[in-house]
């Protein structure tokens, strides 16, 4: 079969990673893979046996039509469709191009709630020149069934295909990865490995907002919380660096990894006893779920309620700020005042700090902690690193989460379904 993946928009590391994972599950010998996107996404996917169609240079509707007519694709995957729904003036691929499609289409929707509102669905049906059969493809995890989405799906007569974005038996080579990492870092393979793995797309977005000082404070806090435990461990930083950090505690060794390539990324995930992140919807959560590695997602509820020349008044949704966390907040306010705000996924501001986390984020994929709540974060890290009962319970939660979408199928099954 001839399969085309289209990435709409200038850059999307999340989508690129999802597509890479999907292609990994496809039998390359039996299918021919094409990728239509701009140069940045070409580089980020960079897979073997992929035929590239670059949309960065002089790409237009005639080229799009010519490619479709000459190759005659069996299936077309289209991602970032929501960017087309309201304004396509700055995009290379535009709404009008869709009138040339006569293949079966899968719209990739990592966040169903973005696509499944009445206005978006109306645009899909009425404004994109859709004269072809289409389905919604939802990667899972992370997907938690939502009754509202199911209602819309029934009302609009739209079929969602849930894709099992998981690697079978991924956990089998964890010991090998751990041994290789211990050699590279010259540390014992029995030492606890804690990894701060950030979503690269969110880090880049933070940089455009000049919010980089946030990451220094966040790393300082996690390092301090680990020293509270008085155990030997490595603290790996991935997709972010802290070049001038001083390892002031002999028990906690901070190691900068920079931006992870695919090979090193797999090694870190397989070697980690605990992962901390600031992403509630990211492919990295899939990698962690694959390996049943506990994840703490850091949020923040500390906010400034008033400020004058003498005092800055703060409110937060936990019991108390310690002397240490007060000093870190003061440092953040002094150096980057605008990047202290409530969030669930930095740097995206939370409009509702009393969000119903149990429903939205579920009990099954990760644990949420308030970054500046030193007692809670320290206690949670301790449980997920050292308490065998708590670790077993957390892994069981992840297994339950995976069972929520037991009807999900892998890429090969999806292609067979649509053939």
* pLDDT tens digits, 354-368: 766 665 555 557 889
Q: Are 164 and 410 in contact (CB under 8 A)?
A: yes
Higher pLDDT, 47 or 261: 261
Q: Give DSSP secondary structure letters for 243-281.
A: TT-----TTEEEEEEESPPHHHHHHHHHH-SEEEES-SS
CATH of 170-386, one of 1.20.120, 1.10.238, 3.40.50, 3.10.590: 3.40.50
The CA distances from residue 102 to 67, 91, 277, in Å, are: 12, 22, 41
What is the percentage of the chain residues whose pLDDT exceeds 70?
84
**Identical fold between 2-165+406-418 and 170-386:** yes
- In the predicted model, is pLDDT for residue 69 greater than 70? yes
Domain 2-165+406-418 has CATH 3.40.50.300: yes
**For residue 13, what pLDDT is reported?**
74
Residue 142 has pLDDT above 80, yes or no: no
pLDDT digits (tens, 9 = 90+) for 272-292: 999 999 988 777 888 888 888
Confidence bin at 121 (pLDDT 50/70/90): low
Give the pLDDT band of residue 143 (cuts 50, 70, 90). low
User: 37-60 in b/e burial notation, b at 16+ Cβ within 10 A?
Assistant: bbeebbebbeeeebebbebeeebe
What does the pLDDT read at residue 78? 92
> pTM of the predicted model, to two decimals?
0.83
pLDDT confidence tier of residue 118, bands split at 50, 70 and 90: very low
pLDDT (average), residues 200-212: 91
Asked whether the predicted pLDDT for residue 392 surpasses 80, the reply is yes
Of 84-93, 188-197, 232-241, 320-329, the poorest mean pLDDT is in 84-93
Q: Is residue 80 a contact partner of residue 8, using CB atoms and an 8 Å limit?
A: yes
The predicted model gives 29-56 an average pLDDT of: 80
Is the pLDDT score of 171 beyond 70? no
Q: In Å, what is the CA distance from 123 to each residue of 76, 81, 126, 231, 300?
A: 19, 10, 5, 55, 35
Domain range list for the chain: 2-165+406-418, 170-386
Q: How many residues does the chain have?
A: 419
**Does the pLDDT of residue 144 top 70, yes or no?**
no
């Amino acid at each position: 079969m001839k399969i085309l993946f289209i990435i709409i928009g200038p850059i999307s590391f999340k989508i690129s990673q999802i597509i890479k994972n999907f292609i990994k599950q496809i039998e390359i010998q039996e299918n021919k893979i094409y990728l239509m996107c701009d140069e940045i996404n070409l580089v980020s996917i960079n897979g073997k046996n992929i035929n590239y169609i670059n949309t960065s240079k002089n790409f237009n509707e005639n080229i799009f039509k010519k490619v479709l007519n000459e190759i005659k694709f069996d299936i077309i995957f289209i991602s970032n469709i929501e960017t087309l729904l309201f304004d396509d003036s700055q995009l290379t691929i535009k709404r009008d191009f869709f009138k040339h499609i006569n293949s079966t289409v899968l719209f990739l929707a990592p966040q169903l709630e973005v696509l499944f509102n009445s206005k978006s669905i109306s645009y899909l049906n009425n404004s994109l020149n859709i004269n072809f059969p289409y389905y919604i493809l939802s990667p899972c995890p992370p997907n938690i069934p939502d009754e509202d989405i199911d209602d819309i799906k029934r009302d609009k007569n739209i079929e969602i295909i849930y894709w099992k974005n998981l690697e079978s038996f991924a956990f089998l080579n964890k010991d090998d990865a751990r041994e290789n990492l211990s050699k590279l870092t010259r540390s014992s393979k029995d030492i606890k490995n804690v990894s701060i793995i950030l979503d690269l797309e969110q880090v880049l977005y933070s940089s455009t907002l000049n919010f980089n000082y946030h990451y220094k404070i966040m790393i300082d806090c996690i390092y301090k919380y680990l020293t509270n435990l008085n155990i030997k461990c490595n603290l790996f930083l991935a997709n972010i660096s802290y070049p001038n950090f001083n390892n002031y505690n002999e028990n906690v060794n901070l190691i900068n990894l920079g931006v992870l390539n695919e090979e090193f990324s797999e090694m870190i995930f397989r070697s980690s006893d605990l992962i901390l992140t600031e992403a509630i919807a990211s492919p990295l959560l899939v990698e962690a779920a694959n390996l049943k590695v506990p994840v703490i997602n850091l949020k923040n509820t500390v906010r400034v309620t008033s400020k004058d020349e003498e005092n800055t008044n703060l409110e937060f949704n936990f019991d108390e700020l310690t002397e240490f966390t007060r000093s870190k907040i003061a440092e953040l306010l002094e150096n980057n005042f605008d990047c202290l705000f409530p969030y669930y996924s930095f740097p995206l501001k939370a409009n509702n700090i009393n969000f119903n986390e149990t429903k939205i984020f579920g009990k099954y994929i990760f644990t949420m902690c308030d970054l500046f709540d030193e007692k809670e974060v320290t206690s949670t890290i301790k449980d997920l690193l050292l308490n065998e009962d708590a670790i077993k319970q957390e892994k069981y939660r992840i297994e339950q989460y995976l069972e929520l979408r037991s009807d999900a199928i892998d890429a090969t099954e999806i292609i067979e379904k649509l053939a």
